[in-house]
Amino acid sequence: MLLLQLYFSFHQWSIYLGAWHEAEFVGLDIFKEVFADSRFGWAILRSLAFAGGSTIGCFLIGFGLAYLMRKPFRGQALYYILFILPMLTVPIVIAYTGEMLLYESGPINDMISRVSGGDFKVAWLSNPSIALLTVMLLEIWNWTPFTFIIMVAGFASLPREPLEAARILGASSWRIFWEVQVPLLRPVIFLALTLRFLEAMAEFPKIWALFQGGPGSATETIPVYIFLTTWQYFQVSKGAALSYVAMMLMIVIVLGAIRLLRHEKRALDEMYVAPRSGG
C-alpha cells in the first residue's frame, strides 16, 4: 500500500485518466503543489491545535482522576468502570450523540441556562469560531480514560522507598507530590502525552460525522483534507502525496518524542537508580 501511494505521488493520475499503471511520471511536481498549498498548511495548524488542546485536556483530567484513585477505597471498581466507559464508546456514536445534545436548543444549552439563570444559546455546531472546540471537547470526553489508565499504572509502579524517605524527613503531601512523585512519573507522563497526541492528529470519525470539515473550513484537519482531496475531488495523486507528507510529519513528532523519553529515562536513572546502587 505504501509503495502504491509512493507510485501515485510521482505519477499524475485520477480515476478518470485511464489505467493507473499508464499514469504520466511528473517527478516532484505533485509534492511541490502540496507544499505550496495554503489550504494544507491551515489543515496542519488545525490538526496541531486540535491535538494539542485535546491532549492537554485529556491529560489534566486523566491525571487528576488517577491521583484520586491511587489508593484503594470501597466501591473503587465501580468508579473504574464509569471512568473507562467513554473510551469503549464507538466514535461515530459519540459524534451523533453529541450532535443531538449540542443543538442550539438542545439539552446542553438548556441545562447551562437553568444553572446560570440566563439564556445560554451557543451555536456549537454552526459557529466556525468554536466548531473545532466542540469536537475537541468530545475528543477529551472520549479519550480521557486512556490517559487515566496510563497514569493509574504509573502511580501503581512508583517505588515506595523515596516516598517513605520523604515522609520520614517530614515533607508535606504537596512537596512529596511535586518533588518526588511527579519527577518519577515524568517518563510515564511523556508517554501518555505522546500517544494521545499522535492519536488526536489522526482523528477523523467524529470530525467528519459532525462537520465534514465545516462550517466553511473551520474543522478541516489533515485527515479530513486528505479524504476530501482523494475521494471527493478525485485527486488521487495529490492525496497520496499529502499522505506521505503527513506521515513524514508524524515521524518527526515520534522521533522527537522518543528523544524526550530517552532523556527523561536517563534523568530518572541518575536521580534514583544510580544513587541507590551506589549506596
Tell me the domain boundaries of the chain.
25-277
Evaluate whether 263 touches 269 at the Cβ level (below 8 Å): no
Q: Tell me what the mean pLDDT of segment 34-54 comes to.
A: 96
| The pLDDT value given to residue 43 | 97
| The pLDDT value given to residue 7 | 83
CA atoms of 109 and 134, how far apart (whole Å)? 13
Cell numbers linked to 38: 495554503
The one-letter code for the residue type at 10 is F
| The pLDDT value given to residue 276 | 53
Name which CATH class applies to 25-277. mainly alpha
DSSP class of 269: I
Q: What are the DSSP calls for 1-69, one per residue? A: -HHHHHHHHHEE--TTSS-GGGPEE-TTHHHHHHHT-HHHHHHHHHHHHHHHHHHHHHHHHHHHHHHHT
Is 14 buried (19+), middle (13-18) or exposed (0-12) by CB count in 10 A?
middle
Q: What is the pLDDT of residues 96-142, one digit of tens each?
A: 999 999 988 889 999 999 998 888 889 999 999 999 999 999 999 99
| Mean pLDDT score across all residues of the chain | 89
| The pLDDT value given to residue 13 | 78
pLDDT of 35 higher than 90: yes
Q: Tell me what the mean pLDDT of segment 244-263 comes to.
A: 90
The one-letter code for the residue type at 25 is F
Cβ neighbors of 106 (< 8 A, separation 6 or more) are 100
| The pLDDT value given to residue 53 | 97
Evaluate whether 107 touches 60 at the Cβ level (below 8 Å): no
Question: pTM for the full model?
Answer: 0.90
